[in-house]
Amino acid sequence: MSANRKADVAIVGAGILGLAHAYFAARRGRSVVVFERTPRAQGASVRNFGMIWPIGQRAGVVHQMATRSRQIWSEMLDASGLQYRPTGSLHVVYHQDEAEVAREFVERAPALGYTCAWISAGEVVKKSQSVNPKGLIGGIWSPTELTVDPRQILAGLPAYLAEKFGVQFRFGTAVRSIQLPRIEAGSETWEAAQAIVCGGDDFETLFPELFAASGIDRCKLQMMRTAPQKSGWELGPALAAGLTLRFYPAFEICTATLPKYKERVAREMADYDRFAIHTLVSQTADGALTLGDSHEYGLAVDIFNKAEIDELVMRNVREFLVAPDLSIAQRWYGVYAKHPEKSWVAIDAAPGVRIVTAVGGSGMTLSFGLAEQMIREMHI
């Protein structure tokens, strides 16, 4: 075995969760190798909005982790020179029951650690040229959210980790077996003292019996992207609308108003509930707009997208978004691992081996905070 095939820590998966673990292990002075079965990351980490979104996270431990993660993101992005948009977020509302939920949230949330405020329709329009003023009641303003271009980050962050911390990357190298200290990866054999498996929705390759017993499910989401907007047009704050209030767990604190709103959506917009659609808009580094999304659950993922879902998303987006060009340049679907009750799943698969997965749709938001905690717990 050649000397360079040894590492203190081996990480399986070069998605954002794997990279976050590599970042913290390497910062602690450990030698790190990251294995990625494909030539470049192509899972959920590059198929999302790029939103670091503390305002959507459940009050308490998860929101605190998201807030810490956002802080780490800022530090890492500034140090690496990778682009980001620290533009905050707006949840815009056009119906009275949406406004009631939004107002209840901003009354209760600050005491729970959220930084947000209700702003009037006029104030919303001042903050964002991209919000439709017709029928607008107001919105929730939060300065804490930031947006990255996930395709750019997942391409650029490995180079930064390699140059700054000496992290080794083995792309196109699938890990077939972990029996520490021995790791079989592609045609190579490595030695490592500890291993962290961040394989996303790959439940079959490593420790399949643990995944089968874990209760983790798959979620498919459909998304779209416009061409880059012309003349340097800026979205401004990342946008969400009323339907998001019934989707993200942060809004569960709105016990007086949320049930009534959910009931109306179920009655009047049944298709949006059937596909668990809520609408978000973010902007990529090149100025394109990312739009979506839907949520279909089940271990067997339908590989065929539904035109109906895209049409429902666009119908809702057009109600609140004003942009120069909403013609769609790209369509895709993503798949992520999600547990029905837990915000993430950590399983000690063997001595020195931990599976970390099922951050759901909050992978970009939680990964750095979660990785910091996992590295600390494993005494790496």
208 φ, ψ (degrees, to nearest 5): -60, -30
104-117 pLDDT, tens digit per residue, is 999 999 999 999 99
| Two structure tokens written together for 47 | 């198929």
Report the sign of the C-alpha dihedral through residues 36, 37, 40, 45, in that order. negative
**3 state DSSP class of 332:** strand
| Two structure tokens written together for 106 | 């901003």
Task: Please report where in the chains the tokens 């017993």 appear, as a residue.
Answer: 213
Distance in angstroms (rounded) separating the CA atoms of residues 46 and 154: 7
pLDDT at position 4, please?
65
Task: Please report where in the chains the tokens 């279909």 appear, as a residue.
Answer: 296
Distance in angstroms (rounded) separating the CA atoms of residues 113 and 299: 35
3-state secondary structure 15-33: CHHHHHHHHHHHHCCCCEE
| Two structure tokens written together for 34 | 């990251």
Contact 91, 280 (CB under 8 A): no
**H-only helix segments in the chain:** 16-27, 61-80, 96-108, 121-127, 150-165, 208-214, 258-268, 270-274, 307-320, 363-377
Distance in angstroms (rounded) separating the CA atoms of residues 366 and 73: 10
Domains and CATH numbers, the chain: 3-45+151-214+342-377 (3.50.50.60), 96-143+217-338 (3.30.9.10)
3-state secondary structure 150-172: HHHHHHHHHHHHHHHHCCEEEEC
Low-confidence ranges of the chain (pLDDT < 70): 1-4
